[in-house]
Amino acid sequence: MPERTDPPGLSNGVLLRLAFRNVRKSARRSILTASAMTLGLALLILSRTLADGAHESWIDQGVRLGAGHVAVQGEGYQTSKSLDDLLSAADLDGAVEALGSPQFESRVSAYAPRLTAPGLASSTGSSVPVLLTGVDPAVEVEFSPLDDLLAEGRYLEPDDRLAAYVGEGLVRRLGLRIGSRFVVTAADADGQIQGQLLRVRGVFRTGVPDLDQSLVHLPLSTAQDWLGTRGGVTSLAILMWSSRTAAAARRELRDLLPSRGVEVLTWTETAPELEAAVKIDDLGDWVFHGITLAIVALAILNAVLMSVLHRRREFGVLRALGLTANETGRVVIAEGVMLSVISGLLGIALGLGVVFGFWSDGLDMSFLMDQELEISGSLIDPVMVPAFRIAQIGWSLLFILFIGISASLYPARQAARIDVAEAMKFER
Amino acid sequence: MDVPCSRARHPGLLARAASLAAVFLVLASHVSSAQAPATARDIVDHVDRLLRGESSVGRLVMEIETANWSRHLELEVWSRGRKHALIRVLSPRSEAGTATLMVEEQVWNYLPRADRTIKIPPSLMVGSWMGSHFTNDDLVKESQLIDDYDIEIAFEGDRDGVEVWEFELIPKPEVAVVWSRLEYQVRKGDMMPTWARYYDEDGAVARSLQFSDFEVMGGRLVPSVMQILPADKPEESTVVRYESIEFDIGLSTDFFSLRNLRTAP
Amino acid sequence: MTSGRIWGRIARRNVRRNRRRTAITVGALALGFVASTVMIGLSEGIVAQMIENGTDLLTGQIRVHGPGYEPERSLYSTLGGRAGVDLDQMLAAIGGVAGIEAVTPRVYAGGLVSSGEETAAGILMGVDPELESSVSRILSALEQGRLPRRREREVILGQVLADRLRAEEGSEIVLVAPAADGSMGNDVFRVVGVFRTGAAELDAAYVLLHIEVLQALVALDRGRVHELAASVDDVWSSTEVVDLLPAAISSLDVEVAAEPWTRFRPDLAEYAQLAASFNWIIVLIVFVMAVFGVANTMLMATWERRREFAVVRALGAPVTGIVRTVVSETMVLGVVAIALGVAVAAPIVFWWSQAPPDLSWIVGDFTMAGALVEANLRVEPSVKGPLLSATGLLITVFLAGLYPAVRSARQRPADTLAGAE
């Protein structure tokens, strides 16, 4: 039989309208299938936003107690942790000045200079090893979570000289009260042992025994005098509004500061365990998403296939009327994609609605936890505040399309291969 | 994780006690020259200077009783001014040669068995010295008595038939000591100290020193026995008894070196 | 009128009728089962790892001290006070308690470690190398060299400490520690090995040596130890085992304070509970989604057969019969899906529990709740995972079949046969 040339095909617009009409017609079936997709995506959005929010919170908590999202330190301090590798007063000023420039203004939330050294705290009764941190009270209140964990007394104030902010555990072991005196001893910048008198002005409780026994905050100027650092500090910790801007900020700051004697580090280097924890959690999440979407894809496949198999006669008629196999296939794919897109968008909307409607202030998980939980040294806030990211929506839409298309491929092939004559035998 | 420190003995001080004795010894010699310094602080300061002389060397016996051990040590003590001291253990044999050197507020220990000298880090500063109720920290702090405290006469008069002064010492505002207050009693007649008390912030006595057995040694009247008594452990004590002491033997600061720490000078 | 067996045959025939659809449905269910099982296994794997690292590494699951030892950890607070204990008897008594796997004694002292150039504060830990390995894994963290021998002044150091001291295998170091008789214990030792646990607080501060050698350094008799650490057969039975201890040692007339790891590491126990509660959520989520897929299928299937049901009804079959047939069909699907799921999940679980794929090239190891977590996909095989998943699946399948079943049962035969859609 001679090959006949195909007549000009139907335009995509017509195919789409056909697809849309089909979807609308089998409304109930569509809705049922759509539910799977809607639910799946809603869950995806839910878990991603909560997880992103939780991670940001972990990082935030961790870097506040630690070295900030970005840290400016003396060269070699990260490994030696010794007062030999201080950030000099001049370099500190340089860094602060650099941070004042407009490029950082919108991204930097706060910065705090710290002088950290290990030492011994003694009272008349006993002595306990501690980690001393000289802080600038005015800045530190914005930076560190410790002042919020106040149990008694008050946090340090700018005019304090001998005030110390200590943990409950330390107070108990040394037999101290608010106002009590105690002496801290440490090796200064020249390696000589020096003592310093301090008075307890405030007591904090983190719930983590190690922190409650060993952290001591004292005024930065007092610490500098005591340890003879001549205005130097061990680090300048910088807090960004979002942890994602840290890498860029580090690069820019690196360029503005002298290349010798100064190191600029991001939190991934100063708190690698924190980064690892986030990554592992993310990984688990992606695995979960993968599974979710696989199941949704199967559901969609199932639904589209069903609908095709139930409309054999209809497709047969269409083919008899001139619709090509290829066009039939495309209609089915269009149906599948449409179904996916509608239900997917609904899912996204549902997910966002639920998350930000109910839990925009945070989902409080503390009913699950009696104790404080810590990851890689930073306290976990039991309240999970969701974080919204455009990229997330983008990925979700991509998934929807991907699922829609791939799930419809097989049914489309089936539809295209319908034998017209056979199809007429069916009722529908 | 904590480095478990041995429970800090109530900080006592060997040389501080010696200095105290010195303080009041000089008072004695000074009285004989019929000059009365003006304030309490002047008295104490003057006395401290005179008693230390330039330098001194002495032999003493230390008896220590604690819940965990009884120790009997024989020591040789060299000192110069307020900032140099060298203490060597002579007995028991197992510890002979162990020595402690203090120079300008830094402390080193020589350990004969390991044949090693170590500089005392903060974690060991507050630990007990040779198992007594002293700490290395006391060694350093004693020399700063005059600088660190404001001294006043709290009582002057008769106690049990003896004319005494009782001094009250309050640490100056930013001085790094754990005591909130010190009290001393001194006999007016021979300027001998009788006791010293160290108070914590609740007003309770944390430890006390007792002086007794006053004798003439090295040409001066001294309390040859000093006891350190921790307040919360009445069965425990450290008792120091001077067997001999010489003053002004012409030591220079060079004498107090790490080399002399290792081998007997 | 019709017996159950007939419904069974009808059900099986229906299932076979549309293979492709059945296959897809079963596939989706099986996937859900596998996913749920594996994820629960992963979650348990992380918890098991954490507990192991938190307890196996050093502390053991049970620790026995003299009363008052914590929190100051004073050198003088040995078990049995100054008199000490008969160590062999204690070890035998505790080792004999049901549930205890092994016991080992430890001595701790805080002191200084000094190489020629540097001095650092350290925690000196005296262990019995033979007994220790049955309780903790710290000795297996040895990376270079060998373990200290009895009666030899040999030590092994943590990697970070060794670096800081610039010491290595073969170096000479001096240990200085206040001794129990008031003297200053000091002696020269040789570094015979370096260990690396990955836990910073251990690698940077611990010095391990033979227990009798440390006792000699700090003037403690052989019977004076600070701690007896024990491992148990079942981590979760630690509390019960601890309760058995006082009876076991009553004849020895020694006062002790014994704790299970759930008491001295409550944060680990907490995390384990948290993880367990999430298992439910995983199952719920996976199967809620599966419900929709299956429900759709069943609706299709029953729709197709409405005529058939109408005829059967008209012939006198009771409504319940229809329901039963539909539901049993779905249950069959469920069972097949479980079988398939188990067949797929079992090798995965086996593989990932014996040789978990290592993820540390993506991330390093990290600590959570103070315990080291290794970055791998380790699965803890247990009955819990498959059981929960199977239950979830069957419930899903039942519910998914119920709605269409009830719907089709309520169709009026006359309407259907008349051609109403």
* Contact status, residue C394 vs residue C334, Cβ threshold 8 Å: yes
SS3 C144: strand
Strands A163-167 and A193-204: parallel
- The C-alpha torsion from A283 through A288 and A292 to A298, rounded to 10°, is 80
Distance of CA A168 to CAs A62, A153, A281, C6, Å? Answer: 20, 12, 32, 75
- Which residue, chain included where needed, has tokens 């409304």? A27
Contacts of C364 in chain A (CB under 8 A): 272-273, 276
If you average pLDDT over every residue of chain A, what do you get? 82
Per-residue pLDDT at A265: 93
C274-330 pLDDT, tens digit each: 767 766 777 777 777 666 667 767 777 777 777 777 777 778 778 787 778 777 777
Checking ipTM against 0.90, whether it exceeds it is no
Confidence of residue C371 (pLDDT cuts 50, 70, 90): low
Closest CA to B188 of B141, B147, B156: B156
Confidence of residue C368 (pLDDT cuts 50, 70, 90): low
**Range of weakest confidence among A49-53, A382-386, A393-397:** A382-386
Per-residue pLDDT at B12: 44
Q: Does residue C355 have a pLDDT over 70?
A: yes
Q: Does residue C412 have a pLDDT over 80?
A: no
Q: Does residue A427 have a pLDDT over 70?
A: no
Q: Does residue C112 have a pLDDT over 80?
A: yes
CB spacing of A129 vs B120 below 8 angstroms: no
Q: Which residues, 6 or more positions from A36, have their beta carbon under 8 angstroms from its beta carbon?
A: A295, A296, A299, A300, A343, C289, C292, C293, C296
A3-41 pLDDT, tens digit each: 555 556 667 778 778 778 877 777 766 776 677 778 777
Helix (H) or strand (E) holding A135: strand A127-135
B201-256 pLDDT, tens digit each: 888 999 898 988 888 888 888 888 989 999 888 899 999 999 998 988 888 888 89
DSSP B121-186: PHHHHTSBSTTSS-BHHHHHHHTTHHHHEEEEEEEEEEETTEEEEEEEEEE-TT---S-SEEEEEE
Per DSSP, helices labelled H in A311-389 are 312-320, 325-358
B123-168 pLDDT, tens digit each: 888 888 888 998 888 877 776 777 888 999 999 889 888 988 899 9
Largest CA distance in chain B: 60
Distance of CA A151 to CAs A147, A163, C88, Å? Answer: 9, 16, 48
CB spacing of C181 vs B3 below 8 angstroms: no
> What whole-number distance in Å separates Cα of residue A156 and Cα of residue A158?
7
Closest CA to C256 of C247, C264, C265: C247
- Write phi, then psi, for B224 (nearest 5 degrees): -80, -15
CB spacing of B122 vs A185 below 8 angstroms: yes
Per-residue pLDDT at C1: 44
CB spacing of B105 vs A123 below 8 angstroms: no
CB spacing of A299 vs C296 below 8 angstroms: yes
Helices and strands: H and E segment counts in chain C: 14, 12
Strands C142-145 and B70-80: unpaired
Q: Does C370 touch chain B (CB under 8 A)?
A: no
CB within 8 Å of chain C, chain B residues 226-255: none
- Write phi, then psi, for A400 (nearest 5 degrees): -55, -50
How far apart are the CA of C35 and the nearest CA of chain A, in angstroms? 7
Q: Does B225 touch chain A (CB under 8 A)?
A: no
Confidence of residue B47 (pLDDT cuts 50, 70, 90): low
Per-residue pLDDT at C187: 93
CB spacing of A283 vs C362 below 8 angstroms: yes
C98-107 pLDDT, tens digit each: 889 899 999 9
Chain-centre distance for alpha carbon B186 = 16
> What whole-number distance in Å separates Cα of residue B176 and Cα of residue C103?
46
CB within 8 Å of chain A, chain C residues 117-146: 121
Per-residue pLDDT at A311: 78
CB spacing of B119 vs C122 below 8 angstroms: no
Confidence of residue A371 (pLDDT cuts 50, 70, 90): low
Domain ranges of chain A: 12-61+275-424, 68-270
pLDDT, average across residues A59-80: 87
User: How large a percentage of chain A has pLDDT more than 90?
Assistant: 28
Q: Does B131 touch chain C (CB under 8 A)?
A: yes
- The C-alpha torsion from B6 through B11 and B14 to B20, rounded to 10°, is 180
The domains located in chain B, with CATH, are: 33-258 (2.50.20.10)
> What whole-number distance in Å separates Cα of residue C401 and Cα of residue C407?
10
Domain ranges of chain C: 3-55+268-417, 61-264
Per-residue pLDDT at A1: 52
> What whole-number distance in Å separates Cα of residue B234 and Cα of residue B212?
19
Instruction: Please give the DSSP secondary-structure letter assigned to residue C102.
Output: E
Residue A397 tokens read as 């839409």
Which of A329 and C400 is assigned the larger pLDDT?
A: A329
Per-residue pLDDT at C325: 77
Bridge partners of residue C350, in order along the sequence: none
